[in-house]
């Protein structure tokens, strides 16, 4: 009878020993964690934290303002350059129109007549081989 009781208690004892081993492992793992208790003398005050947040917020706003100002000044510069380009293109078109007006055949004929040139009434061809004109 005693042997049967021992056989019945043996699985329960082995299970208890497994639980103890697991608990020992857990305790060993927990002992590796550093002490995380907070000393009240080293805490940061709420005012300092709020001051820090206000400083970060103010710095962010100033940075945003400076970027916005730089982009706006670049836009004004771009607009001025577009206006200048339009004015230069207008001048170029005016000069091309003036050159075209001076280059027309009627204007050239009038200018040649004022300089004393005579219009050619007949067409002459030069014969290269004989050096004569026809």
pLDDT of residue 90: 95
As a whole number of angstroms, the distance between CA 86 and CA 92 comes to: 10
**What is the tally of structural domains in the chain?**
1
Could you tell me if residue 97 is inside a domain? yes
Residue-level length of the chain: 134
Could you tell me if residue 16 is inside a domain? no
Could you tell me if residue 85 is inside a domain? yes
Q: Do 133 and 127 meet the contact criterion of CB atoms below 8 Å apart?
A: yes
Q: Structure tokens of 11?
A: 């699985």
Domain that holds residue 70: 58-101
pLDDT of residue 39: 65
pLDDT of residue 84: 95
Could you tell me if residue 47 is inside a domain? no
Helix 105-114, helix 46-102: angle, nearest 10: 60
As a whole number of angstroms, the distance between CA 92 and CA 83 comes to: 14
Could you tell me if residue 95 is inside a domain? yes
Could you tell me if residue 122 is inside a domain? no
| Span 97-117, pLDDT tens digits | 999 888 888 888 898 899 999
| Span 13-55, pLDDT tens digits | 566 666 666 655 555 545 566 666 766 655 667 888 899 999 9
Could you tell me if residue 27 is inside a domain? no
Could you tell me if residue 77 is inside a domain? yes
């Amino acid at each position: 009878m005693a042997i049967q009781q021992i056989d019945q208690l043996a699985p329960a004892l082995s299970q208890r020993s497994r639980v103890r081993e697991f608990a020992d492992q857990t305790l060993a793992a927990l002992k590796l964690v550093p002490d995380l208790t907070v000393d009240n003398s080293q805490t940061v005050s709420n005012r300092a934290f709020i001051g820090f947040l206000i400083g970060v917020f103010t710095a962010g706003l100033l940075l945003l303002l400076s970027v916005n100002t730089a982009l706006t000044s670049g836009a004004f510069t771009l607009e001025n350059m577009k206006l200048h380009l339009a004015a230069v293109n207008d001048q170029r078109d005016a000069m091309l129109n003036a050159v075209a007006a001076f280059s027309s055949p009627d204007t050239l004929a009038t200018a040649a007549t004022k300089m004393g040139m005579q219009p050619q009434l007949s067409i002459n061809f030069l014969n290269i081989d004989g050096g004569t004109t026809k």
